[in-house]
Chain A
Amino acid sequence: MNTLIFRTVAPFLTALMLLFSIFILLRGHNEPGGGFIGGLIAVSALAIYGIAYGVAAVRRAIRFHPLSIAGFGLMLSTLSGLLSVFAGVPFMTGLWIAPRLFGVEVPLSTVMSFDIGVYLVVVGAITSIALALEEKESD
């Protein structure tokens, strides 16, 4: 698979798929999509990069250990649920704020931060598995 064509295309494809995964993540609130499927697309992007350039390159590119990313996502999701203690509503109740940024109203919610947490858990966990499998293959 390690042809010149593939290695040339891989970075563009990876970037495009990562962007697409974030798009899927954010549209998931009202339409098909969300953190889980977005995370899977992001992992596919990293897998393509890994097939083209090797596991070490992926590990350098994502900077943090995949499991640390998963841990961070898990904590983000937990904290999103716990935030509602300050509003006097039960665990996991969606809380919304809509700050104006550059004249545009941007609705932000704990639902979204929970979903971002799911995205990161999926990215971290599945990347960890994918990298471990590819490392074994190269031995």
Chain B
Amino acid sequence: MAATTSAPIDLSAALQLAPTPAADWLVILPPALMIGLGAVLMMLRHRIRLHAPIAIAGLAGLVLIDALLLWRVLAVGPVTMVMGRWLPPFGIAFSVDVFGAVMALVSAVVALAAAVAACTEIDDARLRYGFFPFLLLLMAGVSGAFLTGDIFNLYVWFEVLLISSFGLLILGSEREQIDGAMKYAVLNLIGTTLFLIAVGYLYAVFGTLNMADLVLKARSISGAPLMTLSCLFILAFAMKAAAFPVNFWLPASYHTPRVTVSALFGGLLTKVGIYALLRVMVMLFPLQLEELSLVVAVVAALTMLAAALGMLAQNDLRRLAGYAVIAGIGNMMAGIAVGSVAGLSGAIFYALHSMLAMTALYLVIGRAAALTGEWTLSAQGGLYQRAPGFAFVSLALFLAVAGLPPFSGLWPKIVLVKASLDIGAWWLAGSILLSGFLVTIALARVFLLVYWRPAPGPQAGEGTLPAAAFGPILALGLLIVLFGLFPEWPLSLSQEAAAGLIDPAAYLGSVFPGGGAR
């Protein structure tokens, strides 16, 4: 510090001097609220009766904030807030466009549903070990990842959600859980380490971590090893998203914790990987993605087919649902491989549908298991007779997951098939349809055996269906039906999100209002 300079320093180049409008706080509030409430619950760790009401109220608040944020982004375009007033590319920026806002909103809805469902499923011991604090911190990580505009910050939020998910995964410390958590932890740590290495490499090449700044610099740079970087990022995010060759951690771990936890994981975590893949590859390295599109397309096709076959082979319902999550990832990757606005909007729409549908699927399976007292297809049965309303909602959900009308799974698949036919990738369209067909068979088998077939033996499950368990399933089911009957709204949102990724001019404008630092 030169203490002798008496001339006033021009701060406007480094600091944001204009007052921040209160509405901009919506950008930072989701992660801040979740961390704050998570901290409160940690302090109240022995008052476990207070955990559920505080967490549910907080998540309802999160849904409201994310909805307001989406509304604002739709009204005024991407919103940016820089931490500590330091202007980008020096300060960490939180930048939200339609893509980030809509993913954050749906993830909050899913988390709220899971928190309500948790009231009937999570026992006191697990509450005492911090189920709800972990849940809120997980949501802090997920919201932060969707809203941040800085790639290293994205890595940090990945770590936050990963560590919270370790906690949720081993709650209860059963032998099976520790076994699943080991596989999950090792594979995910390798994935995040690859991500970190790629980020370090990126910083060495570009000298910046702000995503908008990276977009600007990547356009003009020459001779940089962008292909290496792209491959590293694709591998790291594919690992997170559980794409085909690196997907084996998911079926090995997602069936071990309580089913509410699996519902959260199946709904949210893999979709964060898809989000990062879209954000980094489509926005930052579109040319490299185009060159790699055949690789991504092959991976997508293999992912969805392998997962659909996996679904057919499973006897344990939770493992079957794990493969259903992976089948969806294959469809989203197909959209990324196609790369046009249509393909990307199909991928984004599929991600929104998949968050709702996978969480609902796990919750339905958990409830079915609670009613029958069994986890396996071979031992369950007779649910249609015992709970016809529940069976009806389950059937709707199975049809949605399989992608049959009139539910939400149909439209993204139509968009994806049409987009891949448009670029002449008939084999990709064919594998989407074939995988959808196999998933339909697998889920029809579930409905046939678990619901229609008379119970094969005496069943030890509870006889009633509590409202707190059925409510979230019904609410998610209603959303799925609404998305299926009125697809214009999610479709136009997805298209706007995809267009914002392909041409991020508005995003760049919100980070650099003056048109860029250079």
A residues within 8 Å of B by Cβ? 65, 67-68, 70-75, 78-79, 81-82, 85, 88-94
The residues of B that contact A79 with a CB separation of less than 8 Å are: 36
The residues of A that contact B41 with a CB separation of less than 8 Å are: 71
Bound complex: CA A94 to CA B94 (Å) = 18
Bound complex: CA A89 to CA B43 (Å) = 29
Q: Which B-chain residue is minimally distant from A64 (CB atoms)?
A: B43
Q: Which A-chain residue is minimally distant from B94 (CB atoms)?
A: A91
B176 at the interface (CB under 8 A from A): no
Which of B16-24, B60-68, B117-125 forms part of the interface with chain A?
B16-24
Bound complex: CA A72 to CA B43 (Å) = 6
> Contact: B32 with A78, CB < 8 Å?
yes
Nearest-Cβ distance from residue A112 to partner chain B, whole angstroms = 14
> Contact: A89 with B42, CB < 8 Å?
no
> Contact: B40 with A89, CB < 8 Å?
no
> Contact: A90 with B42, CB < 8 Å?
no
Cβ < 8 Å to A, chain B residues 128-154: 130, 133
> Contact: A71 with B40, CB < 8 Å?
yes
Known contacts A89-B19, A90-B82; A68 and B32 CB within 8 A of each other: no
Bound complex: CA A75 to CA B22 (Å) = 22
CB-CB nearest 5 A-B residue pairs? A71-B42, A74-B39, A75-B39, A71-B43, A88-B19
Bound complex: CA A92 to CA B82 (Å) = 9
The residues of B that contact A94 with a CB separation of less than 8 Å are: 84
Bound complex: CA A74 to CA B84 (Å) = 18
> Contact: B22 with A85, CB < 8 Å?
yes
> Contact: A92 with B39, CB < 8 Å?
no
The residues of B that contact A74 with a CB separation of less than 8 Å are: 35-36, 38-39, 42
| Contact residues of A: prevailing secondary structure | helix
Known contacts A91-B83, A93-B85, A94-B84; A68 and B19 CB within 8 A of each other: no
B residues within 8 Å of A by Cβ? 16, 19-20, 22, 24-25, 28, 32, 35-36, 38-43, 45-46, 81-85, 94, 130, 133
| Contact residues of B: prevailing secondary structure | helix
Bound complex: CA A83 to CA B495 (Å) = 37
Q: Which of A72, A88, A93 contacts B39 (CB 8 A)?
A: A72
Nearest-Cβ distance from residue A110 to partner chain B, whole angstroms = 10
> Contact: B35 with A78, CB < 8 Å?
yes
Known contacts A68-B42, A74-B42; A90 and B36 CB within 8 A of each other: no
The residues of B that contact A70 with a CB separation of less than 8 Å are: 42
Bound complex: CA A64 to CA B89 (Å) = 42
Nearest-Cβ distance from residue B138 to partner chain A, whole angstroms = 15
The residues of A that contact B16 with a CB separation of less than 8 Å are: 89-90
Q: Which A-chain residue is minimally distant from B22 (CB atoms)?
A: A85
Nearest-Cβ distance from residue B32 to partner chain A, whole angstroms = 6
Nearest-Cβ distance from residue B466 to partner chain A, whole angstroms = 30
Bound complex: CA A67 to CA B42 (Å) = 7
The CB with the most chain A CB atoms within 10 A, among B35, B39, B40, B45, is that of: B39
The residues of A that contact B22 with a CB separation of less than 8 Å are: 85
Subset of 27 A-B contacts with CB under 8 Å:
A67-B45, A67-B130, A70-B42, A71-B39, A71-B40, A71-B43, A71-B45, A72-B39, A72-B43, A74-B35, A74-B38, A74-B42, A75-B36, A75-B39, A75-B43, A78-B32, A78-B35, A78-B36, A85-B25, A90-B20, A90-B24, A90-B82, A91-B32, A91-B94, A92-B83, A93-B85, A94-B84
